[in-house]
Amino acid sequence: MTTLVSSADTLTRDALAVLQPGFTGTSAPDWLLRRLDEGLASVGIFGRNVAGPEQLAALTAQLRAEREDVLVAIDEEGGDVTRLEVRGGSSFPGNLALGAVDDTALTRQVARELGRRLAACGINLNWAPAADVNSNPSNPVIGVRSFGADPALVARHTAAYVDGMQSAGVAACTKHFPGHGDTAVDSHHDLPRIAADLATLQERELVPFRAAIAAGTKAVMSAHILLPALDGTRPATLSAAALHGLLRAPAADCGLGFDGLIVTDGMEMRAIAATYGIERGTVLAIAAGADAICVGGGLADEDTVLRLRDALVRAVRDGELSEKRLADAAARVRALARWTRRAGAGEGTAPAPEAGLTAARRALRHTAREPFAPLTSPAYVAAFTPVANIAVGDETPWGVAAELARLLPGTDTASYTAEAAAAYGTGGLIAGLITAADRRRIVAVVRDVHRHPWMADALDALVAARPDTVVVEMGVPQAPPCGALHLATHGAARVCAQAATEALTGAAPARPAERAD
């Protein structure tokens, strides 16, 4: 039976209102401005759109000249996932570093300063924080983006982050509901499946989301993950049982009672696009209870917006999607836009420019076989480089080579990969590395060495051949420390590299080293 539509114009505006699309370029294209005038209420900003703070502020002003109450969203977690500083590395450590420090006042301060900088650029919705409990060490997409593996720790820091971000006038979007931490598959590539029962979800995955909701998070982002305990057929983003029946349901019905905006993760991710297609996925997501469709990380053109708009309009006219459900979703988008205007977009937030570096220094962990003498001469930095995480991207630099070269001119670096290890063998790879290093001290930089057997083998061979090697782990420090000095930064942000370099060179007081067993 066909649903009666009261006004074609209202329906079209509502369909546009629930989309959060991206675009290309560092200024707004004409098509985007036209669609804002026609009802589009949100725009997503990605690294490709950012050249610097002044340019970004001019871009968001251009959008607001067309629609004053537009939601301008960004995926700015800090740490490894940065769009504001995509080409230089973040001024803020990520969640794992903040969890390692475990000072909620510091987490709140970092999030507030990050929010202040976003607001100054005209951003009023941040697709952060990640509230995932990193319970699976093999997780290829969360890792250092999580505050940790303990639900209570993740919960208290998620709440502090939400409070800090929103105190700067920027809406937080807590993700990835109902929890992406217990996966060994990246939903950018395929559909992950979490086999945990409902009791485990309640005791582990959902704990940080309850804390975020209690802290007043304005938005929650759904995950493209299949949880048979909730829905054996559809991933959470498309599941009424997950969104309407769990996230929205009152506590009396074992739900979380969330009444804010539900945003989907990127619809072009293969977990959705390869199975349902983005048009079908968009309709199913809105029908299941989502209010806003994130798209634009990969698809960033007018045709994508028109395809999704028309799919929603067609679904209402064909009776597949309730007109009231679409109108309710659009109303939630507009309500959040009103909140951001009342919140003042960060006006009056006192700057805390050193918050990020302070947190990175406090997160640094040292393990040494014997007292370590700071480096005073040029070093050789061997970066053992894994395949880039899509959420992080490969544009953002990482490692300590640039910082070390600044303090110790003559420092050289080279990247060593799984492909090189396969081509030359571990022995050949390390022999070439040692030859390139010559007599210089070797600083081996790794990222999640526990997840990459080729990297672990190469590191073991290097330390055996050159026991004075310094190791800097910039991922999750799951593997046992090794080397003459082992530094765990808990993330690869620029400030994490700065903190590690200070410790290596004595440029700043380092925390006392722990003796290795």
Task: Cite the active site residues.
Answer: 188, 265
Dihedral of CA 263/269/274/275: which sign?
A: negative
Query: Tokens 């300590």 sit at which residue?
Result: 400
Cβ pair 77, 85 in contact under 8 A: no
222: left (phi over 0), alpha (psi -120 to 50) or beta: beta
The DSSP code sequence of 435-461 is HHHTTSEEEEEESSGGG-HHHHHHHHH
Query: Rounded to whole angstroms, what are the CA distances from 88 to 52, 397, 419?
Result: 11, 6, 26
Residue 260, CB-side half-sphere exposure with 13 Å CA sphere: 23
User: In angstroms, what CA-CA distances link 10 with 132, 307, 309, 465?
Assistant: 37, 18, 12, 70
As a whole number of angstroms, the distance between CA 304 and CA 343 comes to 32
- CB-based contacts of 373, cutoff 8 Å, min separation 6: none
Beta pairing class for 514-515 and 365-368: parallel
Contact yes or no for 264/285 (Cβ under 8 A): yes
Phi, psi of 186, deg, nearest 5: -90, 120
Residue type, 355: A
Can you list the alpha helix ranges (DSSP code H) found in 79-205?
Answer: 95-101, 104-120, 151-167, 198-203
Q: Exposed (0-12), middle (13-18) or buried (19+): which is 456, by Cβ within 10 Å?
A: middle
Contacts of 319 (CB under 8 A, 6+ apart): 1, 2, 3
Encoded tokens for 95 = 């969640």
Q: What's the per-residue H, E or C state across 361-399?
A: HHHCEEEECCCCCCCCCCEEEEEECCCCCCCCCCCCCCC
Phi–psi pair at 462, nearest 5 degrees? -65, -45
Q: CA nearest 391: which of 213, 223, 182, 152?
A: 223
How far, in whole angstroms, is CA 245 from its chain's centroid?
26
DSSP single-letter state for residue 226 = B
CB atoms within 10 A of CB 473: 28
- 222 has which bridge partners? 177
d(CA 400, CA 403): 5
